[in-house]
């Protein structure tokens, strides 16, 4: 399985599997994966606290299932909660490109540090190949023979495979590295088997989610590329509108899912211009009234195109938000939607769209100065644009000038006419 998750461990060039070199650890107890279901039922029946813990694990991993960072934190937190004697927790995936063939996603001590990771090649190979959850220990004699074990202070560990169907794709291990901190028992092996089973399901779900996101991203990239082939200037405009819209969104307190929706809709908002006749789209002069009406149809074309894409649940509003970027607060936009009903993300894109269009040179005009653009936006507040969005834009203009736009040209065009074809 391929994951996008970045490893927690700092030194990613060091292999985490080490040879036992004559100090092979002793397997004290084991549990075949085929018996995990029975172990789970027995644990749930016999211990109400553990049953509640597992239920919470299912609930929390489901809640964090699409957020890789949060999911790793949930897994680590529950591991230390479920195994109070454990001092260290490691979760690693098979990765042929990683040193030693394994890549750690979690490498944590109970205190929150990220320690060096060393796993027994013998034990990991057995856990993976035989599908076993095991309890291993090292005698003082063993530890004297193996530098990596002596360095870590490992006394005892429990290790279980992460599986998809009958295939193991990684391991989860809990260690006790300090003498006197307690011991693991065979019951811990059973509990780890159940814990690993739930973690496997959560990682499998994350893997599928990431596959879907990569597929969607490739679709978005293809659409933007198609726009680049038709009209490179519009494609570049869309990228700048996305950048401006995201900065406005952050200034207005948007985060997470709202920002993601905003970013996707912004980059695709002008996709429908591919449906506009070339002699209108590329006309070097101002458009006639009839041509403006034809150009205005690009918002509907955008929705028609984007409606044909299958989105994950959290992005289903993208076509509508992208299409409504020309709606006006007074309801006079192409779809006739009044301000209260226009999605906030559409209102943000609308302001970002006009800002970039007026700040950027066109074949028929020079770029306007910031003061001129702000004056136009201020004049249209409450009629054309959301006053809150315009106010947020004003707060971030210095940053935008520094990152996206050159200093205003001294001979900027003073009139406020270009609004009809600004986008």
Q: What's the full length of the chain, in residues?
A: 423
The reported pLDDT for the residue numbered 138 is 62
DSSP letters of 71-98? HHHHHHHHHHHH-TT--EEEEEEE-TTS
* pLDDT one-digit tens code per residue, 287-318: 888 998 889 899 999 999 999 998 888 899 99
Taking the C-alpha atoms of residue 136 and residue 152, their distance in angstroms, rounded to an integer, is 15
224 found inside a domain: no
189 and 245 co-located in one domain: no
b vs e for 148-163, b when ≥16 Cβ sit within 10 Å of the residue's Cβ? Answer: bbeebebbbbbbbbbb
The reported pLDDT for the residue numbered 125 is 86
Taking the C-alpha atoms of residue 385 and residue 380, their distance in angstroms, rounded to an integer, is 6
250 found inside a domain: yes
**What three-state secondary structure class fits 158?**
strand
145 and 287 co-located in one domain: no
Taking the C-alpha atoms of residue 391 and residue 386, their distance in angstroms, rounded to an integer, is 9
Domain that holds residue 149: 17-208
165 and 240 co-located in one domain: no
Handedness of CA 110, 114, 116, 122 (dihedral sign): positive
Q: Which residues contact 47 (CB under 8 A, 6 or more apart)?
A: none
301 found inside a domain: yes
146 and 39 co-located in one domain: yes
pLDDT < 50 positions in the chain = 1-12, 140-153, 408-422
Taking the C-alpha atoms of residue 322 and residue 266, their distance in angstroms, rounded to an integer, is 6
Domain at 203, CATH number:
3.30.450.40
Give me the number of domains the chain comprises.
2
What pTM value is reported for the model? Answer: 0.69
* pLDDT one-digit tens code per residue, 257-276: 899 999 999 999 999 999 99
204 and 253 co-located in one domain: no
The last residue of a domain, from among 173, 208, 243: 208
The last residue of a domain, from among 175, 208, 241: 208
The reported pLDDT for the residue numbered 322 is 96
The reported pLDDT for the residue numbered 129 is 87
287 and 203 co-located in one domain: no
Residue among 260, 336, 257, 249 at smallest CA distance from 299: 336
199 found inside a domain: yes
Domain at 396, CATH number:
1.10.3210.10
Residue with the two structure tokens 């929706």: 261
154 and 298 co-located in one domain: no
* pLDDT one-digit tens code per residue, 223-249: 999 989 988 999 999 999 999 999 999
Residues 89/158, Cβ–Cβ less than 8 Å: no
306 and 386 co-located in one domain: yes
73 found inside a domain: yes
The reported pLDDT for the residue numbered 395 is 96
56 found inside a domain: yes
The reported pLDDT for the residue numbered 154 is 54
221 found inside a domain: no
Q: Which pair of tokens denotes residue 18? A: 């080490």
328 and 250 co-located in one domain: yes
164 and 254 co-located in one domain: no
The last residue of a domain, from among 158, 174, 208: 208
Q: Which residues contact 70 (CB under 8 A, 6 or more apart)?
A: 64
Q: Which residues contact 44 (CB under 8 A, 6 or more apart)?
A: 50, 51, 54
The reported pLDDT for the residue numbered 10 is 41
116 found inside a domain: yes
119 and 204 co-located in one domain: yes
β-bridge pairing 17-18 and 119-120? parallel
323 and 235 co-located in one domain: yes
- CA torsion, ordered 97, 100, 101, 104, to nearest 10 deg: -90
Taking the C-alpha atoms of residue 124 and residue 294, their distance in angstroms, rounded to an integer, is 66
Taking the C-alpha atoms of residue 261 and residue 83, their distance in angstroms, rounded to an integer, is 39
């Amino acid at each position: 399985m391929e994951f996008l998750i970045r490893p927690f461990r700092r030194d990613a060039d060091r292999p985490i599997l080490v040879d036992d070199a004559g100090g092979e650890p002793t397997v004290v107890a084991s549990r075949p994966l085929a018996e995990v279901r029975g172990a789970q039922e027995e644990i749930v029946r016999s211990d109400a606290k553990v049953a509640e813990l597992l239920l919470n694990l299912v609930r929390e991993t489901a809640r964090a299932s699409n957020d890789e960072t949060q999911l790793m934190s949930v897994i680590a937190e529950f591991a230390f909660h479920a195994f109070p004697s454990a001092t260290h927790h490691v979760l690693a995936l098979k990765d042929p490109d990683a040193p030693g063939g394994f890549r750690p996603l979690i490498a944590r001590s109970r205190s929150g540090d990220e320690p060096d990771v060393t796993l027994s090649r013998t034990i990991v190979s057995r856990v993976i190949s035989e599908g076993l959850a095991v309890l291993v220990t090292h005698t003082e004699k063993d530890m004297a023979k193996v530098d990596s074990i002596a360095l870590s202070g490992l006394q005892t560990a429990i290790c279980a495979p992460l599986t998809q169907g009958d295939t193991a794709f990684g391991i989860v291990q809990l260690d006790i590295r300090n003498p006197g901190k307690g011991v693991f028992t065979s019951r811990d092996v059973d509990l780890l088997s159940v814990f690993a089973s739930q973690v496997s399901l959560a990682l499998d779900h994350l893997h599928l989610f990431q596959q879907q996101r990569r597929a969607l991203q490739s679709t978005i990239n293809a659409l933007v590329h198609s726009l680049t082939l038709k009209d490179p200037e519009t494609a570049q405009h869309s990228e700048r509108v996305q950048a401006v819209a995201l900065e406005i969104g952050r200034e207005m307190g948007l985060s997470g899912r709202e920002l993601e929706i905003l970013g996707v809709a912004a980059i695709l908002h002008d996709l429908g211009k591919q449906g506009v006749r070339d002699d209108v789209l590329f006309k070097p002069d101002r458009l006639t009234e009839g041509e403006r009406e034809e150009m205005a149809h690009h918002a509907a074309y955008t929705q028609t195109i984007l409606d044909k894409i299958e989105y994950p649940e959290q992005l289903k509003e993208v076509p509508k938000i992208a299409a409504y970027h020309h709606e006006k607060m007074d309801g006079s936009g192409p779809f006739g939607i009044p301000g209260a009903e226009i999605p906030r993300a559409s209102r943000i894109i609308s302001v970002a769209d006009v800002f970039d269009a007026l700040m950027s040179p066109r074949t028929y005009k020079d770029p306007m100065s910031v003061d001129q653009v702000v004056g136009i936006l201020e004049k249209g507040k409450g009629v054309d644009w959301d006053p809150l969005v315009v106010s947020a834009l004003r707060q971030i203009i210095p940053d935008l000038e520094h990152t996206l736009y050159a200093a205003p040209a001294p001979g900027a065009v003073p009139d406020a006419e270009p609004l009809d074809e600004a986008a």
